Structures are given as C-alpha cells and as structure tokens.
Amino acid sequence: MFFTYLRRELRRRRKAAAVIASGLALGIGLVIVVSSVSAGMREAQDQVLHSLYGVGTDITVTKEQAEEGGGGPRRFTIGGGKDGGTTTRTDDNLMPVGGFDKLDADVVDAIRGQDGVATAVGALALNDVTFKGEFKPGEIQGVPQGKPGEKPQGRQFVQGGGADVDVDSFTVTGVDTGEQSVGPLSSSKVTAGTGFTAGDTDALKAIVDSAYAKDKGLKVGETLTIKGKKFEVTGIATADTGAATSQVYIPLKRAQTLADVDMKDKVSTVYVKADSSEQIGAVKKAIDASIDGATVTSSADLAEQVSGNLSTASNLADNIGRWLSVAVLAAAFLVAGLLTMSAVSRRVREFGTLKAVGWRSGRVVRQVMGEALVNGLIGGALGIALGVGGAYLVTALAPKLTAGVAATERGPGGPAARALESAGDQIEIALRAPVTLNVIVLAVALAAAGGLIAGCFGGWRAARLRPADALRRIA
C-alpha cells in the first residue's frame, strides 16, 4: 500500500517533484564540481612534489653552507701556455653546488638507523663547468729598461693578449646505485637504454636527462666527459612531471672521487623514506634534533612552498569554493523543505480525510517523508550528471597552471628549488577535475540527506493536520 500510494502521488505531482529535485540537483552538482576541482588542485600539487621531491621520498636533509666556508663567488683556475705563446686549453671544474655544506656518510647511516625510517640514501649535487678557448699573453710595450739593476729609462706597459673562451656547464648528481627507489633519480623513468645496477658503484656510466640529451644530441652508447673521465651514456631518463632534479646522474662513489674539493665519503643531500605517513612528523623531529644545523624538509613542508597560480587557484577552490558549496547546498535543502511544506499544505483535505478514515499521524508522516526521499534521490541522480558534466568541462577547458617552490628561510631551498632553477623556476601543470567514487558516494548521501530534511519539514506540517481541517475544506 505504501509504495502504491507513493508511486501514484509522485505521478500526480510531477511538476512539484521536478522543482524540488532540480533544486537539490543544482546544489549537489556544484558540490561535485568544487570537490573535483579541489581534488585536481591536490593532484596537480602532488605532481609538482612528485617531479621535484622523488617518488617515495618523505624527507630530505641538507645543511646550509657556513658563511666563512665560501658563501661568495667561486674561483676557477684557467692556465695559459707554458712557453708564453698562444695556446688552446680546456679546464674542467667539478664543484659542489653552492649553498650546500657537505654531510658525512655516517649521517646517512645514523638516519637509516632511526626508528620509523624505512630507508635513507645520500646524493651529491655537483656543477661541471668547462672553460675552453685560446689564451694569448700580452706584449710588453714602451721604452725599454736599462741594464739589470739600473733605473728604468721610461714607462712600460702590457698591450694585447686576452682569451676567447667558451663556457659549458651542466649539473651532475651522484646517486646511490644500490637503492634507487628513493632519491633524485626516482622521480624519473629510464625511457631508453638501461639504468644503474647495484654493482655500478664505481662504474664509468651515466644516465642523462632526456631534455639535456636532446639539447646536446646525446644518445645511448655515446660518451660524456666529466672531469677528464669518459662516461658511457647507458640510459636516458625522463622526468615523470616537470623538471628533472639533475641533468646527468653518475654513481655516488665516482662523483665523490672526481669533485675538485675533498668529497670522499661526503654527500650534499640525504633522502629519507618513512615506514608510514603517520611517522613522517616524528622522524623529521628526531632528525632535526640529532643533526646540528641541518635543514630537514618533509613533503608537507614542500607542499606549503608551492607557489604560483596553482597555489592561488588551490586556495580559491579550498576556501571560497567550500563555503560557496555549503551556502548553495543549504539554500537547496531549505528551498526543498519549504516546497515540501507548501505541497503538504495544499494537500490538507487529502491528509485530513486519510486521518478521518483511520490513518495515524505517523503513517502520514512516513508517506510524506517517503515521497521527499524519492525526490531527493532523483535530485541526486540529476546532480551527479550535472557534476560529472561540469568536471569534464573544467578538465577540457581549464588553462594550464604554473607552480614554483620558493627557497626556505633556513636554507637554499633544497633539491626541489635546484630542480626548478633548471626549469626556469616554474613548472606547468594541466588542471584536471577527477570525479572519484568518494565524491559520488558523497553526492548520494547529500541527496538522501536533502530528501530527509525536506521530508522532516513536510512531515512536521502533515503531523499538525486534523480531520476537522479537511471537513472545513469540503464544506
């Protein structure tokens, strides 16, 4: 009887049901779009972190270089000809990246032994700067001097000479070949050739970033000279998103040996993976407390540094979008409730008569709430369709967003900022608005809630009706 009456009443009041369902559909559709855009913002931010931070990396540890340790400009020695004549020279300098101090390999072992740490690996960031050109000494001009020991007879000066020098530079990172699931190379995928193996600790092998390989015309099997050593290019790596952390990767032991300054058993960055996401905070605090002067950065800290219009859009979606959704949804629920009450008021004679023939108030209320719940579910179905369509339009029409990572107050910004420097300080991210199962479940829950709220309004009004009201209407 309940369902028969319900079906008949919904058919009789199709227009009223459509108005209530449409109001709920608009509110639910907006919630789906905003939730999907917010999820897309988080996904875009994750892509930035994924490309800059390394897959599986939860924490990075660096140490800011002391001011007396060379905070000023670096000095390079460029030699001239031995006989004083014109000569062609090539000087290859492999220096640690400025701003970072070296960490002992013992630090890596100490971090690896901390509670809550799954693994930790060290990496050494270097800059290879090569000067190549012709060097010609100047010639002494002016009045010649007297005999040795005598006072010069006139002024002399050097004229001419100089150098025509080409400068080439690229970034080199020494990586731990025994553990590659964490670290600077983990955010790239080897798309040509092969990667490192655990036994390549001292091998003259190099993996080159695809963008750098394309720029220099490097292919698998060719050689690349680093500090006078010829490295075979065994693989080409492509960053999953955005810029690669380095342009060239070589085994860590080789990088430590070839550096111009003493870097034996030294690293510039430690990459840490925690046992679980819940332990990242505790691990970060423990590392910060145990290593003097270290800059310990977690993926959450890096996320807070993501800037550009990605950050602006993310804040807009999270703040304004959330409150707009709540306001529209509350208005939709209120309108649905008022419309249901109005519909019940127009059915005074019907409900009064039903009470007069024996229907209890509870049965009338259940009937009204049943109708409102069905209207809510219909509105939910329409809202899901509207929301999915809106999310698809956002994905299809949204412009690309840019993101950057600012340097921290305590240090030079870490490997993330270094990767952005090679990418022009910005990364472009395509905005998506994915509709997940959780969002659909949320939409169904909101539809049911909207229907129940509207039913409560209508049920309250129906419960107050008396058979005498119906008799007065008939008279």
Domain boundary assignment for the chain: 2-50+313-474, 65-134+161-292
Q: Which residues contact 193 (CB under 8 A, 6 or more apart)?
A: 207, 220, 221, 233, 234, 235, 236
Model pLDDT, residue 252: 92
Model pLDDT, residue 207: 95
Could you tell me if 122 and 267 are in contact, meaning their C-beta atoms sit under 8 angstroms apart? yes
pLDDT > 90: what percent of the chain?
A: 12
pLDDT in tens, 355-411: 777 777 777 777 777 777 887 888 888 888 988 998 888 888 877 766 655 544 434
Model pLDDT, residue 454: 74
Query: Does residue 80 surpass a pLDDT of 70?
Result: no
The C-alpha angle 131, 133, 135, rounded to 5 degrees, equals 110
Could you tell me if 344 and 456 are in contact, meaning their C-beta atoms sit under 8 angstroms apart? no
Average the pLDDT over 101-107 and give the result. Answer: 85
Model pLDDT, residue 131: 78
Model pLDDT, residue 336: 74
Model pLDDT, residue 281: 85
Q: Which residues contact 176 (CB under 8 A, 6 or more apart)?
A: 121, 122, 123, 183, 252
CA–CA gap between residue 77 and residue 271 (Å, rounded): 33
CA–CA gap between residue 81 and residue 134 (Å, rounded): 9
What's the whole-model pTM score?
0.57
pLDDT in tens, 326-366: 777 777 777 777 777 777 766 767 776 777 777 777 777 77
Could you tell me if 438 and 257 are in contact, meaning their C-beta atoms sit under 8 angstroms apart? no
3-class DSSP assignment, residue 154: coil
- The tokens 């479940």 sit on which residue? 441
pLDDT in tens, 127-173: 888 877 776 666 666 555 555 555 555 566 556 566 667 788 899 99
Model pLDDT, residue 70: 45
pLDDT in tens, 9-41: 667 677 777 877 887 788 888 888 888 877 777
Categorize the per-residue pLDDT at 413 as very low, low, confident or very high, splitting at 50, 70 and 90.
very low
pLDDT in tens, 231-255: 999 999 988 765 677 899 999 999 9
139 HSE (CA, 13 A, CB side): 6
Q: Which of 100-104, 138-142, 247-251, 284-288 ranks highest by mean pLDDT? A: 247-251
Count of other CB atoms within 10 angstroms of residue 320: 11
Based on C-alpha coordinates, what's the Rg of the chain?
36
Categorize the per-residue pLDDT at 58 as very low, low, confident or very high, splitting at 50, 70 and 90.
confident
Model pLDDT, residue 68: 46
Backbone angles phi, psi at 73, to 5 degrees: -70, 150
Q: Taking all residues of the chain, what is their mean pLDDT, rounded to a whole number?
A: 75
Average the pLDDT over 108-114 and give the result. Answer: 89
CA–CA gap between residue 308 and residue 400 (Å, rounded): 12
Model pLDDT, residue 408: 42
Model pLDDT, residue 424: 44
Could you tell me if 127 and 171 are in contact, meaning their C-beta atoms sit under 8 angstroms apart? yes
Q: Is the dihedral of CA 187, 193, 196, 202 positive or negative?
A: negative
Which comes out higher in pLDDT, residue 280 or 89? 280
Provide the phi-psi class of 142: left if phi over 0, else alpha when psi is between -120 and 50, else beta. Answer: left
